Structure 1
Amino acid sequence: MSIDTLQRFLLDDLDIRGAVVRLGPVWQEITARRHYPAPANALLGEMCATALFIADALKHPGRITFQLRGDGPVSLLVVDCDERLNLRAMAHAVADTAPAPMPELLGGGQLLLSLDVPNMRQPWQSVVPMQGDNIAEVFEHYLGLSEQLPSRLFLAASPEGAAGLFLQKLPNADARDADGWNRITGLAATVTADELLALPADELLTRLFHEETVRVFDARKVLHDCPEDWDKVRTMLRSLGRQEVEAVLREHGEVLIRDDLANRDYRFDAAAVEALFSEAPPTLH
């Protein structure tokens, strides 16, 4: 298994399914030039791995967005992923945020979910109380409510990568082996952060479940494909009006539009602003 992939697996004899995610270059692109404090970076990386497990279940084109909002020094974590596993993410955090337990970092908050698919008139949204002492527990609680299937998450993140192991108990698991779920989750709980971040899926699963029959499926590639969209930004600036845009230009010497999720800046100098309002806007048909 290469890096920047999600790979599903099934414990055939136990009716337990799961997946392994390992991120490297994609994670580094997401965090490039952002300089998040280490505690926020770690939370965001763990949330990225978790969102991929959930987005992998999307059967039709669509985009799922998770937001953790609170009143602590890490006030916002957003992860956005579509059915192709095209991942975007961002955080808002106080620059000198010190290491602390997650509830202290986020403060009292909520988990917001938004699902946007082409045939829906508007995105479906849900708000879930944030319950748990870490990202894994928050999403285990969410999955228990939404899918009504016991789930476990084991997550890790560093400046170089993010990774996770996901397990879910299927309805017939107890009939197949009454102790199977407890045995497998106990074995999974021995995994270390270094193992999650470094080991390919097949090696990780063999190390953890060497006495079980594990069927591993083809890996899916994770993307960070966020092309520039200058037309969209120009249309937005035109909607603000020339007077307001030129006022920003006079104050700052340029007009800067920041796309946080895509980790991209759009800059307009005086010549670009003049061209923006001199050229005819595109005709809508």
Structure 2
Amino acid sequence: MKLLVTGATGKLGSKVMEFLLKTVPADQLAVSVRDPEKAESLRSQGVDVRQGDFDHPETLDTAFTGIDRLLIISADGDNDTRIRQHSNAVKAAEHAGVKFIAYTSIANATNSENLMAPPHVATEAAIKETGIPYSFLRNNWYLENEAGSIEAVLAGAPWVTSAGSGKTGWALQQDYAEAAAAVLAGEGHENTVYELSGPLHTLEELVSALGDVLGKDVHIEQVTDEKYAEIMKGLGLPDFVLPIVVGIQESIRNGSLAVESSDFEKVLGHPVTPLNEGLKQIVTAINQAK
């Protein structure tokens, strides 16, 4: 049985590999990466490192050859780019005769008003069309996505948001990575959809928890989308990014991430990392990076 992880040198992929290496013999593991040189540490542990680029389908056809179980970690970029790249990966998996595909999707993908849902809807549909057994890992929201706001708070600024009272199922990347590794290496996950959502919280509650971690009151400033875009532009974000960051706030506000589910705990076999502990880890990492 040969397992392969795409994007294995990325933030999520590298964590998935850490968990897999604890439970699966290295000679049964392979990775598909754009730049194999960045995966030397994996190669040195006995992992089969293959070159694969989502923009060059022929490299994926080669990378996926002989693979039984595949984890496609969703790519970065605009929606159209991601749809094209994911389509290339799914077609290559079909060409290679892969027997199982796990895919990192987004919360409530097919019923979502989330700005970033379209690539995931298209990819889930493409995987289903192949007839290959699948598991869709509908990841809610990485707590690490809030690192910029946490850093601003540490510097004395308020937490600025236009998300209102919308709820989000935050969890650490390591929890999502552990779940992905468990599904890829485990049994009984064929044709499943897992809504991987941590306990739901509003941003007000998240900021209150951060205040507990820091031992001080943290001010949260609720603004309009227009004001939020203006503030983000003032912080140096390029114009093309502004609709994305505002769209994320809107997605939280409209409830598209408010998915209540026990799937995370079911897949992990234990609860996700508590919110306060996750925030503590991120604060520590930010302080250590200074």
TM-score by length of 1: 0.23
Which of structures 1 and 2 has the bigger CA Rg?
A: 1
TM-score by length of 2: 0.23
Higher strand share: 1
Higher helix share: 2
The answer to which structure, 1 or 2, has the higher relative contact order (CA under 8 A, 6+ apart) is: 1
